Homo-oligomer: A and B are copies of this chain.
Amino acid sequence: MGVVVSLGEGARKDKSLEPLMALVADDMQRVNEVILSMARSDVEMIPELAGHLINSGGKRLRPVLTIAAAQMCGYTGASHVKLASSVEFMHTATLLHDDVVDESDLRRGKVAARILWGNEASVLVGDFLLGQAFRMMVETGSLESLRILANAAAVIAEGEVMQLAASKDTSTTEDAYLEVINAKTAALFSAAAEVGAVIAERPHDEQAALESFGRNLGVAFQLVDDALDYSGKQSLLGKSVGDDFREGKITLPVVLAYRRGDTEERTFWKRTLEAGDQQEGDLEKAISLLERHRALTDTVERAHHYGAIARDALAIFPESAHKTALMQAVDFCVNREH
């Protein structure tokens, strides 16, 4: 039940993340060291639980954005490593708190921390990582970076609450859903990219360009995530297919299928997602409805649209290996299958 990805005009043949990863490899090694050192604590449970997530092989896309943006902007100091580590800690803290909120059993293909250590520990270790993130930001002495990342922290939480409040409403509009993912996902992508230009003390237009690049990439990334949740291969995805469905989450594929469906179909979505009354075979029926209405394909199409905006945002930068690699990273994100 793989989704047929529509390769729109914006899609590129080379969709690999590798060129970007090669450019940031040395600095990301430093980020890794800082992360390990800042997750340390005499309270054993902290490095254990943090390490469970930190070592689970995520792509670390968000800190990569910070490092790549700073490098592209010609930054030669060391603060970008601290900012990138802060960004990853903010992300990890969000994941820990999300698992508690979503009652997830799997995260990145591993048993969720909350199952192994309990909800309490997930909440508190998330708080610890958030505190450590702010300590690192303070060490850079960049008040503007602090402003951007503190703002992102508040906006992300606001977006999560928004989703919580909207999560049982199948009649959510596409606009309302975009508002949610702008807050809960795109805010950190945009902050991660923007602080790269800020720490390099580049002019406002370059900061704004990276902010826009990160924001649109984040939206595209989340939309592809939403489609993959119904169509991905579990072994590659690192989470269970149908997680969003089981948790009653209203994502764009559902928003589209609900609007395009008939009364009987809407009743199905209301029963399974709003009322949470799910039976054997419901996930399969949901997937067939999503396919019938092209909801997964169109969700990926929408992702291509935001990917194109992200690429255009970068256009003001002179050609460079970093610019090319960031463009390719957009293609990777919208075309990925896991």
**A 121-175 contacts with B by CB, 8 A:** 121, 123-125, 127-128, 130-132, 134-135, 137-138, 141, 143, 146-147, 150-158, 160-162, 164-165
Check: A18 CB closer than 8 A to any chain B CB.
no
Would you call A101 and B130 a contact (CB within 8 A)?
no
Partner of A123, one of B123, B128, B158, B162: B123
Report B-chain residues with C-beta under 8 Å of the C-beta of A151: 131, 135
Report B-chain residues with C-beta under 8 Å of the C-beta of A156: 127, 131
**With A158-B128, A162-B43 in contact, do A123 and B150 touch (Cβ < 8 Å)?**
no
Report B-chain residues with C-beta under 8 Å of the C-beta of A295: none
Check: A45 CB closer than 8 A to any chain B CB.
yes
Partner of A130, one of B124, B130, B161, B162: B130
**A 82-124 contacts with B by CB, 8 A:** 93-94, 97, 100-101, 119-121, 123-124
Partner of A153, one of B44, B45, B119, B130: B130
Report B-chain residues with C-beta under 8 Å of the C-beta of A154: 128, 131-132, 134-135
**A 30-57 contacts with B by CB, 8 A:** 41, 43-46
* A187 CB → nearest B CB, Å: 10
| Bound: A130/B121 CA distance, A | 18
Would you call B131 and A155 a contact (CB within 8 A)?
yes
| Bound: A160/B120 CA distance, A | 9
| Bound: A150/B128 CA distance, A | 10
Would you call B125 and A45 a contact (CB within 8 A)?
no
Would you call A100 and B128 a contact (CB within 8 A)?
no
**With A161-B121, A164-B45 in contact, do A138 and B127 touch (Cβ < 8 Å)?**
no
Report B-chain residues with C-beta under 8 Å of the C-beta of A43: 158, 161-162, 165
Report B-chain residues with C-beta under 8 Å of the C-beta of A157: 124-125, 127-128, 130-131
The residue in chain B whose Cβ has the minimal distance to the Cβ of A125 is B161
| Bound: A160/B44 CA distance, A | 13
* A213 CB → nearest B CB, Å: 23
Would you call A158 and B46 a contact (CB within 8 A)?
yes
Would you call B127 and A153 a contact (CB within 8 A)?
yes
| Bound: A134/B134 CA distance, A | 8
Report B-chain residues with C-beta under 8 Å of the C-beta of A153: 127, 130-131, 134
Partner of A165, one of B44, B146, B158: B44
* A192 CB → nearest B CB, Å: 15
Partner of A124, one of B46, B101, B127, B150: B101
22 CB < 8 A contacts A-B: A43-B161, A43-B165, A44-B165, A45-B164, A46-B161, A97-B123, A97-B124, A97-B127, A101-B120, A101-B124, A123-B123, A125-B157, A127-B153, A127-B157, A128-B154, A131-B150, A131-B153, A131-B154, A134-B150, A135-B154, A138-B146, A138-B150
Binding site for B on A (CB under 8 A): 41, 43-46, 93-94, 97, 100-101, 119-121, 123-125, 127-128, 130-132, 134-135, 137-138, 141, 143, 146-147, 150-158, 160-162, 164-165
Q: Kindly list the 6 A-B residue pairs having the minimum CB-CB distance in the complex, ordered from nearest.
A: A131-B154, A131-B153, A128-B157, A134-B150, A127-B157, A101-B120
